[in-house]
A and B are shown apart, each in its own frame.
Chain A
Amino acid sequence: MTISLNAFLIVAGLLFAIGFFGVLLRYNTLVLYMCLELMLNATTLALVAFSRFNGTPDGNTFVFFIITVAAAEVAVGLAIIVQLYRRRGTVQVDELTALKD
């Protein structure tokens, strides 16, 4: 395999940038949440790449825990979004201004 560590890190960095771009661009809470997942995945990819090129398995074990926590986080976050929709009737961030007024 001739792909360097840099190539993987560039992909991870660009994935993070795209996720950040989506978080700033979109108004729909669900899509915002998907873009947050993208950012989390970008860090995961960087960890696995570092772990591979360092020759130690610790990075991979961290990613194992990250996936566990991310699964729990997605479940709780989506439950909150559903409850938000029940109470306010919308999930668009520009309409959720209860703390602003």
Chain B
Amino acid sequence: MADFLFYAFAALTLGSALMVALHRNAVDAALSLFLTFFGMAGLFVLLEAYFLAILQVLVYAGAVVVLFAFIVMLLDVDANKRRPIGKFAKVAAGISLALLGTGVLWLFHKNQLSGPALPLEASGSALKTYGRQLFTTYLLPMQVAGFLLLIAMIGVIAISKKSKAADAAEESRS
């Protein structure tokens, strides 16, 4: 059963990731991104990282994808510009995908990483473990992360405020 779920979620993740990279419409790419994050959350559940699975759905599939979809619709970039992809970009992307893909497959088929056949008891599943770790070993990173979020919030407000230069550029275009 777990095997089947793994293959299903892996196929969902990789397939919708391909859709993100290939879909011409940015809105559809954003929706495929949602599916990718959902598949990732499923893989996290299989790895018994339940807290991270919930966090993945809340933060990525919830906030990040909604932000992406919102910006895509706000900018409306698809309506005016839909151009063919350059030949050079196609070749470069295809070669890099082939190289990276075969590299990964070859690496993990050739030398199997030795882990315990049946994994140890999951240490990341309990919320208590997180709490203890975050407030003892990783107390300073925790504070820094909180401060980083504050800085990011202030930065976003400062960046997205309408400035005079942007207004002038907008007026000169219209």
**Min distance, Cβ A91 to any Cβ of chain B, angstroms:** 5
Give Cα A59 to B137, complex, Å. Answer: 13
Main secondary structure of the interface of B (DSSP, over half): helix
Q: Is the CB of A45 within 8 A of B156?
A: no
Interface string of A1-38 (1 = CB under 8 A from B): 11111111111011111111110111110110111011
Q: Is the CB of B97 within 8 A of A86?
A: no
Q: Is the CB of B166 within 8 A of A8?
A: no
Neighbouring B residues of A45 by C-beta, 8 Å? 40, 43-44
| CB proximity to A under 8 Å, residues B1-57 | 2-3, 6, 10, 13-14, 17-18, 20-22, 26, 29-30, 33, 36-37, 40, 43-44, 46-49, 51-52, 55-56
- Enumerate chain B interface residues (CB-CB to A < 8 A): 2-3, 6, 10, 13-14, 17-18, 20-22, 26, 29-30, 33, 36-37, 40, 43-44, 46-49, 51-52, 55-56, 59-60, 63-64, 67-68, 71-72, 74-75, 77, 81, 83, 85-86, 89-90, 92-94, 96-97, 100-101, 103-105, 107-109, 112-113, 115-124, 129-130, 133-134, 137-138, 141, 145, 148-149, 151-153, 155-156, 159-160, 162, 165-166, 169-170, 173
